[in-house]
């Protein structure tokens, strides 16, 4: 069977360093940190008092008050980012909506809704008075449901949940639905809104978050010897994946081609990566094989790079193993140094960063690096502190989740 080509024809971003695609890209290449003290709740009793929240975002600029009240923030973010991507794709009335799907990623879903409803119940008289929108606001699949309802898309519709790999999983599923001929277009990506009492408290209990409260802006420091955990972020990223001939026939703008996706499991530990990166090695090998390319074809890798002591080293070991001598020729970076970790939305916004690198010929930096880690191979180009110009023809984006879920996407410069 001849697989169909899949291209990207629309992008949307809502991130801690920019509320649109253009703002997000400007934030990336300028090395902007999205970390700041938390404003959503009182952090006096919390170990971590900062996060990468959205800035200057008001959902009422996009949705009316009545509609917004029915939606958890993670769904609000999904709608805003997807609407930007859909508008960017510039579809006309000839679009067959039965062949348009929505496959979305969310690691947690409506955490704030769940938290608030339970707190309200606990503070009452014990009578179960729950908001009638409690369940439909909370469930993780409601984001793609709402995107489809707003646009009348009647193709496949579901959410992928694989912790921090969720939206990369969604992109891979979307790729496969289209290249197998089941759909013409899929709206894909992911969203998360876990900067909440439960989110910060829970990750603090795991000792997963940075506690650099005296200097939040430099707290997310992948590959730095003094990294002490990730910085929690929020937001959404959306991509329009489209079958190539369908896109070409309507004269669509094409950002890049999605040429492969890989999946694997560490099968090792609930939260820690395998120290030798065995699962990460396998996911990148699977992705290269699926894309039909050789290791030396890859120009740039946006790593999972969360700024955790164990994860960063394991991933770089895996890259050295898979790419051998070519590893030193690759621009390796971690945009989480700027955005923080958007959990289920990470794969989407990082794939977008890779696509824009291909488009613009610039690799965003890994910011906040000040101290060399002696356990990291010094020959690797980690794109430290400054963006680097590069003709990026093929880019890889890595995303890994608690539970050992690994996902990898490969994107290519568009050619006729």
Query: Which residues are part of the catalytic machinery?
Result: 164, 304, 341
Instruction: Tell me the chain's radius of gyration from C-alpha atoms.
Output: 20
How far apart are the C-alpha atoms of 74 and 146, rounded to whole Å?
11
What are the angstrom distances between the C-alpha of 62 and each of 76, 80, 92, 187, 258? 9, 7, 22, 19, 30
Q: Strand pairing of 100-105 and 185-192?
A: parallel
* 148: CB partners within 8 A, 6+ apart: 102, 154, 157
Do 386 and 151 form a contact (C-beta atoms < 8 A)? no
Q: Do residues 238 and 84 lie in contact, with contact meaning Cβ atoms separated by under 8 Å?
A: yes
User: Are the C-beta atoms of 279 and 304 separated by less than 8 Å?
Assistant: no
With contact defined as beta carbons under 8 Å apart, do 185 and 243 qualify? Answer: yes
Return the ∠ at Cα 24 (arms to 21 and 28), rounded to 5°.
140
CA 180 to chain centre: 24
First-to-last CA distance in the chain? 21
Q: Which pair of structure tokens corresponds to residue 238?
A: 């959306």
Distance CA 220, CA 20 (A): 22
User: Please, are residues 366 and 222 in contact by the beta-carbon 8 Å criterion?
Assistant: yes
Q: Is 270 exposed, middle or buried (0-12, 13-18, 19+ CB in 10 A)?
A: exposed
3-state secondary structure of 342: coil
Q: Which two tokens stand for residue 152?
A: 């009348």
Please state, in angstroms and rounded to a whole number, the distance separating the CA atoms of residues 301 and 394: 9
Checking 93-97 for CB contacts under 8 A at 24+ apart, the result is 94/250, 95/184, 95/185, 96/184, 97/151, 97/152, 97/153, 97/154, 97/155
The rounded distance, in Å, linking the Cα atoms of 252 and 96 is 15
């Amino acid at each position: 069977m001849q697989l169909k080509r899949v291209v990207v024809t629309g992008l949307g971003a809502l991130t801690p360093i920019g509320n649109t695609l253009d703002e997000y890209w400007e934030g990336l290449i300028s090395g902007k940190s999205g970390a700041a003290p938390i404003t959503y709740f009182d952090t006096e009793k919390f170990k971590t008092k900062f996060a990468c929240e959205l800035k200057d975002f008001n959902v009422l600029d996009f949705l009316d008050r009545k509609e917004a009240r029915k939606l958890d923030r993670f769904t609000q973010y999904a709608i805003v980012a997807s609407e930007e991507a859909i508008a960017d794709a510039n579809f006309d009335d000839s679009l067959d909506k039965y062949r348009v799907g929505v496959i979305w990623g969310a690691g947690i879903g409506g955490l704030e809704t769940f938290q608030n409803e339970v707190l309200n119940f606990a503070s009452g008289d014990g009578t179960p008075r729950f908001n009638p929108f409690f369940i439909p606001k909370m469930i993780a699949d409601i984001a793609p449901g709402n995107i489809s309802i707003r646009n009348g898309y009647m193709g496949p519709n579901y959410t992928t949940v694989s912790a921090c790999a969720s939206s990369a999983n969604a992109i891979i599923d979307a790729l496969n639905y289209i290249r197998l001929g089941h759909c013409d277009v899929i709206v894909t990506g992911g969203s998360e809104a876990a900067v909440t009492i439960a989110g910060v408290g829970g990750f603090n209990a795991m000792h997963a978050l940075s506690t650099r409260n005296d200097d939040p802006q430099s707290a997310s420091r992948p590959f730095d010897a003094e990294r002490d955990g990730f910085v929690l972020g929020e937001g959404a990223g959306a991509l329009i994946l489209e079958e190539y001939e369908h896109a070409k026939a309507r004269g669509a703008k094409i950002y890049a081609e999605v040429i492969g996706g890989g999946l694997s499991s560490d099968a090792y530990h609930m939260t820690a990566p395998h120290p030798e990166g065995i699962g990460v090695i396998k996911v990148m090998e699977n992705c290269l094989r699926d894309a039909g390319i050789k290791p030396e074809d890859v120009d740039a890798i946006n790593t999972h790079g969360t700024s955790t002591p164990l994860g960063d080293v394991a991933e770089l070991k895996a890259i050295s193993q898979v790419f051998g001598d070519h590893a030193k020729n690759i621009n390796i970076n971690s945009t989480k140094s700027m955005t923080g970790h958007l959990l289920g939305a990470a794969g989407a916004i990082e794939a977008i960063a890779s696509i824009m690198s291909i488009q613009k010929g610039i690799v965003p930096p890994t910011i906040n690096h000040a101290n060399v880690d002696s356990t990291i191979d010094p020959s690797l180009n980690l794109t430290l502190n400054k963006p680097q110009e590069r003709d990026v023809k093929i880019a890889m984006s890595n995303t890994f989740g608690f539970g050992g879920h690994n996902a990898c996407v490969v994107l290519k410069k568009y050619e006729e």
